[in-house]
Amino acid sequence: MQVFFKRNLNYGIVFILLFMIFTGNSCYLHYAKIEGDLFGLKNGKKIQEFNTYPVQVEINFLDSEEIKKILLQMGTSKTVLETQQDAIESYRSLEIRNQFLKSRIFNFDPNSNIRIVVKSNVNELRPGGISYVANLGTLGLFPAVHNTFGTIVFEVYDVENDKLLKVYKYPVEHTYFVSWFSAILAPVFQIFSDRFDQSTTSKTFAIMRVAYKQFEQDFIKEAENNSSFKERIYTNPYNYAIIPVEKKDEVIKQIQNTIIPDLSEAFNRSNYKLIERKHIDKILQEIKFSQSGFTDNTRLRLGQLLEADRLILVDFGNTNLTKNQFFGSISYNGILEINLKCIEVNTGKIIWSYSYYNKLQNLNENDLMDLLNNPDTGISQEIMKNLRFKGIIL
């Protein structure tokens, strides 16, 4: 009986030790602040009464591989880069977009004369060092303390004059603690401040939250105190027409019939004033529109007939697909390219553009249907994801 008891006690101790090690290495408490702003004093007093400002928002983050390349050149070791991948992603987090969407200050408007471009960079990754060793030695009781340093940049542009009005740069300090105490303390700290965050990795939303809050405060102050800045904040009631470029290819028509309704829905949801699809189709048939014939005269004529200020062209560029049939089995091969381009009718100026590219290899009919219609990974979803990232749609 004593042997049985001792054996189970040993198992229990081992289980507790393993639990402490596991939880101690999977509980992260994050704290982020603007450099030199320990207690949040920079944010100033909360503004009780405020205006709502229409803006466009574009996210223009560097690719994570580009960030790693820069950090390597600055002397960061490959080992640190590998272990700090999630921390790097914190400086590319789309939480910044969520902050704009939830804002009571900013109203997403594709016709706004103000475009806010958000950029970021990672300046330094500082792993735990001695604290990490102490964390392992105390089975997660003593916290491993890691630091990252970066900059979040907000560039404010006057769209009509194609002019940079102001640049806001916020050096951010991010500290995260790895310990099983984090699971206890994090929920408490988050009640009092969104500078704190809890996760199971080194990735956090707190960095983007503190940067956004500071920018919001500074933008309001600038708009309220600088009349020349404020007068550039306005919106134009543009009418948009989505113009598909006709192709005779059967597969391209299938793709076109899938993405045009999806695009229309997304643009409508994002406050674009779209001209009715039936009216567009009727006009396109009347003038027998094709990309090869898209001249300045065609653009102006389309704008006049449709009463559109801006045209969103959807064409298939260098798409070249072949349909192969072998013993009753059909496969598709080739290049699929979809180009979207928003053009101002009166001037021909390109407002924005985006290209989708995919090389198809031995796609059977089921694979093709999945590429067209999959609600998570289909062509439309991929295009929408990138348009959201560029700030073109919500």
pLDDT in tens, 5-46: 445 545 444 444 444 444 445 688 999 999 877 655 455 555
* Integer Cα distance of 212 and 209 in angstroms: 5
> What is the pLDDT, as a whole number, of residue 22?
44
> What is the pLDDT, as a whole number, of residue 291?
53
CB-based contact 245:314 (threshold 8 Å)? yes
Give the 3-state DSSP-derived string for the chain, with helices as H, strands as E and coil as C: CHHHHHHHHHHHHHHHHHHHHHHHCCCEEEEEEECCCCCCHHHCCCCCCCCCEEEEEEECCCCHHHHHHHHHHCCCCHHHHHHCHHHHHHHHCCHHHHHHHHCCCEEECCCECEEEEEEEEEEEEECCCHHHHHHHHCCCCCCEEEEEEEEEEEEEEECCCCEEEEEEEEEEEEEEEECCCHHHHHHHHHHHCCCEEEECCCCCCHHHHHHHHHHHHHHHHHHHHCHHHHCCCCECCCEEEEEECCCCCHHHHHHHHHHHHHHHHHHHHCCCEECCHHHHHHHHHHHCCCHHHCCHHHHHHHHHHHCCCEEEEEECCCCEEEEEEECCEEEEEEEEEEEEEEEECCCCCEEEEEEEEEEEEEEEHHHHHHHHHCCCCCHHHHHHHHHHHCCCCC
Ordered by start, the domain boundaries in the chain are 2-230, 239-389
Name the residue with higher pLDDT: 97 or 15. 97
Q: What is the mean pLDDT of the chain?
A: 84
pLDDT tens digits, 324-358: 887 778 888 889 899 999 999 999 989 889 999 99
> What is the pLDDT, as a whole number, of residue 5?
47
| Cα 252 to the center of its chain, rounded Å | 28
- Is 239-389 a CATH 3.40.50.10610 domain? yes
* Integer Cα distance of 360 and 358 in angstroms: 6
Confidence at 380, pLDDT banded by 50, 70, 90:
confident
Judged by average pLDDT, the poorest of 162-176, 242-256, 349-363, 365-379 is: 242-256
> What is the pLDDT, as a whole number, of residue 393?
83
pLDDT tens digits, 224-276: 999 999 999 998 889 999 998 876 677 788 888 888 888 888 888 888 899 99
Name the residue with higher pLDDT: 130 or 258. 258
Name the residue with higher pLDDT: 322 or 214. 214
Q: Which is nearest to 289 in space by CA: 313, 259, 262, 321?
A: 313
Mean pLDDT calculated for residue range 81-102: 93
Q: pTM for this one?
A: 0.80
Q: Which positions ≥6 away from 368 have C-beta within 8 Å?
A: 251, 254, 332
Mean pLDDT calculated for residue range 131-143: 65
> What is the pLDDT, as a whole number, of residue 9?
47
* Integer Cα distance of 76 and 42 in angstroms: 31
Name the residue with higher pLDDT: 372 or 163. 163
C-alpha distances out from residue 337 to 115, 294, 370, 373, 379, Å: 28, 19, 17, 17, 11
* pLDDT at 84 > cutoff 70: yes
Structure tokens at 120: 């970021």
* Integer Cα distance of 141 and 144 in angstroms: 9
Confidence at 138, pLDDT banded by 50, 70, 90:
low
pLDDT tens digits, 178-196: 887 777 777 788 788 889 9
Confidence at 311, pLDDT banded by 50, 70, 90:
very high
* pLDDT at 49 > cutoff 70: no
Judged by average pLDDT, the poorest of 77-81, 188-192, 310-314 is: 188-192
* pLDDT at 209 > cutoff 80: yes
Judged by average pLDDT, the poorest of 1-10, 115-124, 368-377 is: 1-10
Structure tokens at 83: 């272990």
Name the residue with higher pLDDT: 130 or 269. 269
